[in-house]
Amino acid sequence: MAATLRFSTADLLRCRFAISPAFETLSAIRLTLPAESPGQHRRWLDTVAGQVAGIDLRPITLLQPRRGYTPDFLAPPPAGPLATFEDDLARIADTPPSQVAAEIARSLHDTPGAADSEIGRYLLGDPVEVLATLTGLIRTAWQQLVEPSWPRVRALLDADVGFQTRRLAEGGLDRLFAELHPTLRWHDNTLIREYGDDDHRDLAGAGLVLMPSAFKWDQVVVVMDEPWQPTVIYPVRGSGTLWQQLSGTPDAALGRLIGRTRAALLIGLTEPATTTTLVHRHALAPATVSEHLTVLRDAGFIIGERHRHEIRYRRSALGTAAVDRRS
């Protein structure tokens, strides 16, 4: 199972980076669902729990099936790396009612029983009223859940774009795509995303948008349907550092015990991960991550288990106890 994007000569010249505050907001909303794993965003989720409890986000979460279609108008195609939330929200509010109705019906169809629920029936009602409701909810979610942390999130996204741009300048697309994310491979002018649904596209001059995401932390998303330009959304480099605590906290105490970098790796192992995934997540050199994982393993804090052709590391009971003791 893989998605492939085949480049022509014209496509090689039409690659650009973009950032979408609206997409980050939708992804943050998804992480509030009990069925979702927040990963390294657990600390953020704990800090906004009170705000989440005070907002009825169900009209939006119902339109975000785990596997299925999320309406495009909720997060319009990004214009570039400098877009603001207000830019995105204005484009959402300008969505034609016919598009709102069609995309909501398509999304609800992907969740059995959703269209027959009370909220589903409301969403299938007057598209002008529904759009106003959804626009207001997105604004509220942005203001209460994302905006307070946006300077930190935006700085990480901008740093990723700068880092990837330097890679592109130093080694061309071969270097950029070879190291963009562990689930991506570049071969014979074709970008391949391993795992996920099968999907194949000749770009045929359409080019490609590359969009780092902080809150879509656990997977690479390939968007091929209009109105989006073909887009690859990938977890931002260094996401494991996003919510690191300052000195004087329980995290810092664990850092003094086993070392700050080892503590960050251990705390960030909310689910099994490979060395290459941890390299990307913590923005560290492969040799550095390997060395620290060896020390953590030898000390009994983590366990390495083979999964097909790779080794995935997870916390041991001792490692989990050390992390939980911070609370």
- pLDDT tens-place values along the chain, 327 residues long: 688 999 998 988 888 999 999 999 999 999 999 888 888 898 899 999 999 999 999 999 999 988 888 999 999 888 777 889 999 999 999 999 999 999 999 999 988 899 999 999 999 999 999 999 999 999 999 999 999 999 999 999 999 999 999 888 888 888 888 888 888 989 889 999 987 677 888 999 999 999 999 999 988 999 888 888 899 999 999 888 888 764 445 567 787 888 888 888 888 888 888 888 888 888 888 888 888 899 889 888 889 888 777 888 899 988 888 887 655
Are the CB atoms for 100 and 108 separated by under 8 Å?
A: no
Q: What are phi and psi of 223, to 5 degrees?
A: -110, 125
Give the integer Cα–Cα distance in Å for 200 and 269: 32
Distance, first Cα to last Cα, the chain? 40
Contacts of 244 (CB under 8 A, 6+ apart): 251, 264
Q: Tokens 């780092």 correspond to what residue?
A: 212
pLDDT value at residue 246: 41
Interatomic CA distance for residues 220 and 183, integer angstroms: 7
Tokens of residue 115, six digits: 């269209």
- Please name which of 17, 9, 6, 13 lies closest in space to residue 180, comparing C-alpha atoms: 17
Nearest to 121 by CA among 187, 58, 77: 58
Contact 59, 134 (CB under 8 A): yes
> What are the beta bridge partners of residue 223?
231
Q: Give the chain's domains with CATH numbers.
A: 2-18+151-237 (no CATH), 22-148 (no CATH), 244-324 (1.10.10.10)
Instruction: Return d(Cα 230, Cα 314) in angstroms, integer.
Output: 35
Name residues whose C-beta falls within 8 Å of residue 162's C-beta, 6 or more positions apart in sequence: none
Q: What are phi and psi of 137, to 5 degrees?
A: -65, -40
For residue 54, the one-letter residue type is G
pLDDT, tens digit (0-9, with 9 covering 90-100), for 280-302: 888 888 888 888 899 889 888 88
**Is 257:290 a contact under the CB 8 Å cutoff?**
no
